[in-house]
């Protein structure tokens, strides 16, 4: 038998939302044999399984995913990743905030949970590939596979996926990579999923209720009130400006909710968790021409050393800026920007691009 005629078995991560549901439709039309999987990662302490829980966390979403899989005629499984998720993603989220940094939990979740754990589950269910509803593509260049930006630049999610390895990409399918969101909604409508097509998307962190990370920390750090006490605001020269409510309640670039009047707009420009000091400054004080990143990875070290000019994105919604990589050592890199960038934030990712390919990244230090 011609091996190319054998249908490949694909493990599809399903959240119950439109993107993974339409991904299922497309994969079935392309002749793949599907196995749906929805994973439990977190149960809200404050609201249990009430309707206000979001995304993969709610029982409603899990059951909707299962219903959609059954409706389309393929098997579906629910797997429990809560302990791994708690140790890896939530643990890092808490540690970073309690160190005065601002983490991006989706980056870790994708690399360690949605791919790391799903690869294991795929093997368990005899699946050749895994698929998700992310807006991203995969491209081959010089014999290697690279993550590439999606056709819909407004929805492109490569910023959150930069940690994926080539081995993981070899077993990955992104059915939505060549589509825009309006096209995805229209496919859902054509298949009779009108309510799903009109459902509003959530932009919040799945395990942080109402997007209030401060309440989440207070609920999940036993000695939060002892560790996060009122302290002082200072300016760049160290002059005391007033009192704040504890370093972990602030993020770089924050302007609202500071509780202080200085006669001009003030922004958080630096957080010193050890000294419990929060530095305030002007909008211009948040402009930077360079950054240092840890956990720094590039796909081809030799090539990068001879082609150090890249496009760099320092947050999901920011525009890529021309930059040059320098001082590249073991898992540490320095970027110099061609123009000042606003709000470089320790704990966030910096992602590097060349011709729409993701060629590396790091965690801003």
Same domain for 291 and 277, yes or no, is: no
Return the CA Rg of the chain.
Answer: 22
Pick the more confident residue, 1 or 124.
124
Same domain for 79 and 195, yes or no, is: yes
Same domain for 357 and 269, yes or no, is: no
**31 to 6, 28, 34: CA distances (angstroms):** 9, 5, 9
Rounded Cα distance, 82 and 281, in Å: 40
Which one, of 69, 122, 10, 198, lies nearest residue 61 by Cα? 69
Rounded Cα distance, 307 and 346, in Å: 26
Same domain for 253 and 294, yes or no, is: no
**Residue 166, domain CATH:** 3.40.50.620
| Domain contains 223 | no
Parallel, antiparallel, or unpaired: how do β-strands 267-272 and 277-281 relate?
antiparallel
3-state secondary structure of 267: strand
Q: At 1, is the pLDDT very low, low, confident or very high (cuts 50, 70, 90)?
A: very low
Residues 6+ apart with CB under 8 A from 223: none
Rounded Cα distance, 77 and 305, in Å: 45
Rounded Cα distance, 251 and 167, in Å: 35
Same domain for 106 and 167, yes or no, is: yes
Altogether, the residues listed in the chain come to a count of: 365
**What's the gap between Cα 181 and its chain centre?**
18
**Residue 334, domain CATH:** 2.40.30.10
Which parts of 251-325 fold into alpha helices (H)? 301-306
Q: At 47, is the pLDDT very low, low, confident or very high (cuts 50, 70, 90)?
A: very low
Same domain for 206 and 232, yes or no, is: no
pLDDT of residue 303: 75
- Asked whether the predicted pLDDT for residue 58 surpasses 80, the reply is no
| Domain contains 216 | no
Same domain for 297 and 273, yes or no, is: no
Rounded Cα distance, 31 and 75, in Å: 15
Q: At 267, is the pLDDT very low, low, confident or very high (cuts 50, 70, 90)?
A: very high
Residue at which a domain ends, from 242, 263, 281: 281
| Domain contains 219 | no
Which one, of 155, 209, 188, lies nearest residue 68 by Cα? 188
Rounded Cα distance, 118 and 215, in Å: 30
- Asked whether the predicted pLDDT for residue 4 surpasses 50, the reply is no
| Domain contains 220 | no
Residue at which a domain ends, from 250, 281, 312: 281
Lowest mean pLDDT: which of 44-48, 126-130, 226-230, 343-347?
44-48
User: Which residues in 245-348 belong to E strands, given as ranges?
Assistant: 267-272, 277-281, 287-298, 309-313, 321-329, 332-342
pLDDT of residue 23: 98
pLDDT of residue 205: 85
Q: At 142, is the pLDDT very low, low, confident or very high (cuts 50, 70, 90)?
A: confident
pLDDT of residue 46: 41
Same domain for 97 and 233, yes or no, is: no
Total domain count, the chain? 3
| Domain contains 55 | yes
Q: At 331, is the pLDDT very low, low, confident or very high (cuts 50, 70, 90)?
A: confident
Domain residue limits at 358? 287-364
- Asked whether the predicted pLDDT for residue 55 surpasses 70, the reply is no
Structure tokens at 14: 């399903």
Same domain for 294 and 271, yes or no, is: no
Tokens 């073991």, residue located:
330
- Cβ atoms 102, 347 nearer than 8 A: yes
Rounded Cα distance, 261 and 275, in Å: 23
Structure tokens at 82: 């809560």
pLDDT of residue 238: 97
| Domain contains 184 | yes
**Residue 246, domain CATH:** 2.30.30.280
Per-residue pLDDT tens digits for 155-207: 999 999 999 999 999 999 999 999 999 999 999 999 999 999 998 876 678 88
Same domain for 84 and 49, yes or no, is: yes
Provide the CB-side half-sphere exposure for 156 (13 A, CA): 25
Same domain for 175 and 321, yes or no, is: no
Q: For a pLDDT cut of 70, what percent of the chain falls above it?
A: 94
pLDDT of residue 6: 55
Per the prediction, the chain carries an average pLDDT of 91
Residue at which a domain ends, from 180, 210, 240: 210
Could you give the residue numbers annotated as active site? 109, 206
| Domain contains 221 | no
Rounded Cα distance, 271 and 101, in Å: 8
Lowest mean pLDDT: which of 39-53, 121-135, 316-330?
39-53
Model pTM? 0.91
Structure tokens at 5: 């005629």
Structure tokens at 104: 């991006």
pLDDT of residue 45: 41
Same domain for 169 and 130, yes or no, is: yes
| Domain contains 218 | no
pLDDT of residue 61: 86
């Amino acid at each position: 038998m011609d091996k190319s005629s054998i249908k490949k078995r694909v493990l599809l991560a399903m959240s119950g939302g439109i993107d993974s549901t339409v991904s299922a439709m497309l994969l079935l039309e392309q002749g793949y044999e599907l196995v749906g999987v929805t994973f439990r990662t977190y149960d809200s302490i404050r609201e249990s399984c009430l309707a206000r829980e979001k995304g993969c966390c709610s029982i409603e979403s899990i059951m909707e995913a299962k219903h959609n899989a059954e409706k389309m005629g393929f098997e579906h499984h629910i797997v429990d990743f809560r302990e791994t998720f708690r140790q890896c993603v939530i643990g890092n989220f808490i540690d970073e905030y309690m160190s005065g940094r601002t983490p991006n939990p989706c980056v870790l979740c994708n690399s360690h949970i949605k791919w790391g754990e799903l690869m294991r589950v795929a093997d368990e269910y005899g699946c050749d590939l895994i698929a998700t509803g992310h807006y991203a593509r995969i491209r081959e260049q010089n014999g290697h596979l690279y993550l590439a930006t999606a056709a819909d630049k407004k929805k492109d999610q490569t910023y959150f996926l930069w940690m994926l390895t080539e081995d993981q990409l070899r077993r990955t399918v992104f059915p939505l990579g060549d589509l825009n969101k309006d096209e995805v909604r229209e496919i859902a409508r054509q298949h009779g999923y009108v309510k799903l097509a009109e459902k509003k998307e959530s932009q919040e962190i799945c395990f942080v209720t109402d997007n209030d990370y401060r309440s989440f920390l207070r609920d999940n750090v036993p000695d939060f009130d002892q560790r996060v006490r009122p302290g002082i605001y200072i300016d760049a020269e160290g002059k005391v400006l007033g009192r704040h409510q504890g370093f972990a309640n602030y993020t770089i670039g924050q302007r609202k909710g500071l509780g202080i009047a200085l006669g001009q707009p003030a922004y958080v420009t630096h957080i010193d968790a050890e000294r419990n000091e929060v530095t305030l400054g002007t909008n211009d004080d948040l402009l930077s021409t360079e950054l240092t990143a840890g956990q720094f990875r590039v796909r081809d070290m030799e090539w990068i050393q001879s082609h150090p000019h890249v496009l760099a994105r320092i947050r999901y919604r920011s525009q890529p800026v021309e930059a040059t990589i320098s001082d590249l050592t073991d898992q540490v890199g320095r970027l110099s920007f061609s123009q000042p960038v606003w709000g470089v934030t320790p704990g966030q990712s910096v992602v590097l691009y060349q011709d729409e390919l993701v060629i590396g990244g790091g965690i801003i230090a």
